[in-house]
Amino acid sequence: MSFADYLDALVRRSTKQRDPERTRPLLLSAAVRFSETGSFAIMTVRDVVRLARTSHGTFYLYFNSAEDIAVEVLSSFVEYELRTLPEIDKERHPFEVRLAMVRWYQQSFRANVGLMRNMVLLSDSVPEVAEIWRRRGKMIIDRFLDHYRQRYNVTPEELNLLRIAHHAVGSMSDHSLFARYGVHGASETSEERDEDLLIELHATLSYRAIFGEDPPAEFLDRSARFVSLGAKLR
């Protein structure tokens, strides 16, 4: 479910027109819809109330400005993502964990591409958004580190090294998604658009980077030919 769908479900849940539990998500949902085709940098209060079909007075009961609601919607989106993160079972093989996390990450990006584009672009100029972007990255890496703590006898120093490595590996996946979905403008890539293949390929590459070996063949499907090619080139 996209964050927009989640907010719309909250709106439908309340039958009272003036219920704060309905009005606040209604305004947030309007901002999300604006993000699908526009930039929060130029969004106005008028844009939000037009999409929400409400009044300026109602808007100012909940938010101080267009930037205020933009920051709130991005922060709420990250909190929503945290609740949808895959649960980690220490008994699962690390590649299975990685595959589940990469699938969640890429599908969440695709379902919320307008919000992601705005978060990335505004993180360079709005300190509050930069902090939201940092918090989002940390919560995702922390989920991997939790698995290492549960499964391996790793020291705090080793966990810090793993955090650094995950930042580097995550940047690879981010830039692929930025290009695929035109975060910095029109789509810049002729990259393969088979999502299942790309999910497995990114999981395989990041597993290699962290563990220094190929994933077990039993877990591979779409990316098996890339692993075979790597073995041939060694």
Distances (CA, A) of 21 to 8, 72, 176: 12, 15, 37
Q: How confident is the model at residue 50 (pLDDT cuts 50, 70, 90)?
A: very high
Residue with the bigger pLDDT between 190 and 170: it is: 170
Sequence spans of domains, the chain: 3-67, 85-233
The pLDDT of residue 185: 62
Average pLDDT in the 149-160 region? 93
pLDDT reading at 193 higher than 80: no
pLDDT reading at 190 higher than 50: no
Q: How confident is the model at residue 16 (pLDDT cuts 50, 70, 90)?
A: low
Least confident of 79-83, 109-113, 126-130, 178-182: 178-182
Does the global pTM surpass 0.95? no
pLDDT reading at 230 higher than 80: no
Average pLDDT in the 55-75 region? 97
pLDDT reading at 224 higher than 90: no
Question: Residue 166's closest CA among 202, 119, 123?
Answer: 202
- Sign for the CA dihedral angle at 151, 157, 162, 167 comes to positive
Task: Give pLDDT tens digits for 97-118.
Answer: 999 999 999 999 999 999 999 9
Q: Chain-wide mean pLDDT for the chain?
A: 90
Average pLDDT in the 224-233 region? 77
Instruction: Assign domain 3-67 to its CATH architecture.
Output: Orthogonal Bundle (1.10)
pLDDT reading at 13 higher than 50: yes
Question: How far apart (Å, rounded) are the C-alpha atoms in residues 231 and 27?
Answer: 53
